[in-house]
């Protein structure tokens, strides 16, 4: 792992408590191989960072755009989904600093994408605890909200889950719900099967390495099953 000062320089943030930064970069799998490591893994920071990120993005969209709530919700989802957050994490160089087990370090597929997205949320949680909300706002505006013009131009904010909800509400007056049908695998490499429901009707199901991915896959299958193209 590189010196954290290099990451701080890249972020433009000097942590008062550098252990918070190190913890944000510590994946659960690393502790399995390094039980004497003095810090916890990053999942509690990720939990905090997810909420703080939602607030920062929501406040910015509310203040800057007069668009209706449904559109702002879709834009926010496009900004904070795992794929986008993993791209941001790559852009700021987190991949070189995340502490992983040897097995996880070899995986460069979708599992790594979610590890990076979660590490970014944990980093935001660490920034919040160390520097408070103003620093979070600056970080989010520079690295995440800056992606919004490209998202709006390309229309990528219309993800399957949002489309399925729009179509279901318009066509049958029901808001879809999602339920985890099954999950398996170790804590650091879970796999989920999720069903999408219209009240008591299970329309479709999807699988993924996070609940969010499984929900998106279920929504995609739901659109196909119902013959709804989202137009």
Active site residues: 50, 121
Exposed / middle / buried, residue 43 (Cβ in 10 Å: 0-12, 13-18, 19+) = middle
Report whether 203 contacts 197 (CB < 8 A).
yes
What secondary structure, in 3-state letters, does the chain show?
CCCHHHHHHHHCCCCCCHHHHHHHCECHHHHHHCCCCCCCCCHHHHHHHHHHHHHHHHHHHHHHCCCCHHHHHHHHHHHHCHHHHHHHHHHCCHHHCCECCHHHHHCCCHHHHHHHHHHHHHHHHHHHHHHCHHHHHHHHHHHCHHHHHHHHHHCCCCCHHHHHHHHHHHHHCCCCEEEEEEEECCHHHCEEEEEEEECCEEEEEEEECCHHHHHHHHHHHHHHHHCCCCC
């Amino acid at each position: 792992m590189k010196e954290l000062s290099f990451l701080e320089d890249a972020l433009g943030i000097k942590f008062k408590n550098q252990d918070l930064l190190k913890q944000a970069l510590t994946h659960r799998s690393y502790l399995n191989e390094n039980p004497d490591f003095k810090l916890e893994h990053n999942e509690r920071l990720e939990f905090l960072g997810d909420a703080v990120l939602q607030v920062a993005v929501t406040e910015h969209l509310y203040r800057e755009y007069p668009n209706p709530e449904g559109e702002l919700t879709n834009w926010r989802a496009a900004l904070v989904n795992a794929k986008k957050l993993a791209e941001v994490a790559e852009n700021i160089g987190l991949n070189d600093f995340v502490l992983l087990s040897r097995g996880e370090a070899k995986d460069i597929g979708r599992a790594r994408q979610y590890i990076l997205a979660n590490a970014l949320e944990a980093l935001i949680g660490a920034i919040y605890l160390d520097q408070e909300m103003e620093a979070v706002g600056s970080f989010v505006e520079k690295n995440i909200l800056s992606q919004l013009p490209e998202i709006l131009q390309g229309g990528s904010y219309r993800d399957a889950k949002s489309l399925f909800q729009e179509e279901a509400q318009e066509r049958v007056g029901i808001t879809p719900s999602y339920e985890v049908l099954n999950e398996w695998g170790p804590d650091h490499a879970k796999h989920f099967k999720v069903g999408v429901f219209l009240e008591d009707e299970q329309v479709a199901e999807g699988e993924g390495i996070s609940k969010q991915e499984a929900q998106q896959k279920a929504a995609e299958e739901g659109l196909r099953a119902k013959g709804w193209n989202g137009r």
